[in-house]
């Protein structure tokens, strides 16, 4: 998320990554399970690595119809942000951390740093595809620049038994990737309305 301030990112993350103390305000009781999964956004470039990987072809002039999944990444007990604009080509235009325009859109893209990824229906993409487009490594013992223990992946709150990168991206899925101290995984995510398929 190279173009948005930390305040904008924190506001966006309230939708699901549980990374702000704002969850503690108000009079309603917050479930312990949600509070247990709350972690702050990590500070510095390790926790906000830019997208440097290749597109997943084809690259089209508009976003077009998309399915969506939510990906949460934790390293060293902190939230690692997926940047806006992954899987797109310049020129790009951002407003408050959200992608408004791009030269073209690949098969897998991000529009904002909330962890929601959009992919074309009918494509067989995996978590490995996402990390490749991001330009970050994902192995049994490494997540982006983080090491120290084994990588754990959860799909819908359940531990994935296979290789981390083998998780298929499916519409409506909640996927948690973590390395370091255990973070109780969320089982689901409430998605905002999809961006316009005419986004260009």
Task: State how far the Cα of 86 lies from the Cα of 129, in Å rounded to an integer.
Answer: 12
Asked if the structure places residue 15 within a domain, the reply is: yes
pLDDT computed for residue 16 by the predictor: 44
State the pLDDT at residue 22. 35
Q: How many residues does the chain have?
A: 200
Range of the domain at 58: 6-179
pLDDT at 200: 83
**Taking the CB of residue 148, how many other CB atoms lie within 10 A of it?**
11
Please identify which residue in the block is written with the tokens 């108000």: 26
pLDDT of residue 132: 98
User: Is residue 89 in some structural domain?
Assistant: yes
If one counts the domains in the chain, the total is: 1
Using an 8 Å Cβ cutoff, are 105 and 140 in contact? no
Residue 198 lies in a domain: no
Q: Per residue of the chain (200 residues), give pLDDT as tens.
A: 333 333 344 344 443 454 433 333 344 565 666 566 689 999 999 999 999 999 999 999 999 999 999 999 999 999 999 999 999 999 999 999 999 999 999 999 999 999 999 999 999 999 999 999 999 999 999 999 999 899 999 999 999 999 999 999 999 999 999 999 999 999 999 999 999 888 88
What does the buried/exposed string (b/e) look like for 26-47 if buried means 16 or more CB atoms within 10 Å of the residue's CB?
A: eeeeeeeeeeebbbbbbeeeeb
Domain membership of residue 152 (yes or no) is yes
């Amino acid at each position: 998320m190279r173009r948005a301030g930390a305040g904008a990112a924190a506001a966006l993350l309230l939708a699901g990554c549980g990374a702000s103390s704002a969850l503690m305000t108000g009079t309603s009781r917050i479930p312990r399970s949600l509070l247990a999964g709350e972690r702050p956004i990590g500070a510095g470039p390790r926790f906000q690595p830019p997208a440097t990987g290749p597109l997943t072809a084809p690259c089209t002039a508009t976003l077009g119809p998309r399915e969506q999944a939510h990906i949460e990444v934790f390293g060293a007990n902190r939230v690692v942000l997926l940047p806006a604009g992954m899987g797109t080509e310049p020129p790009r235009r951002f407003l408050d951390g959200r992608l408004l325009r791009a030269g073209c859109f690949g098969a897998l893209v991000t529009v904002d740093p909330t962890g929601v990824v959009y992919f074309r229906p009918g494509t067989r993409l995996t978590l490995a595809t996402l990390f490749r487009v991001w330009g970050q490594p994902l192995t049994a013992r490494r997540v982006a620049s983080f090491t120290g223990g084994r990588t754990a992946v959860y799909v819908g709150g359940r531990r994935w038994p296979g290789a981390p990168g083998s998780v298929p991206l499916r519409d409506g899925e909640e996927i948690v990737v973590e390395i370091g101290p255990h973070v109780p995984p969320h089982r689901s995510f409430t998605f905002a309305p999809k961006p316009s398929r005419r986004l260009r």
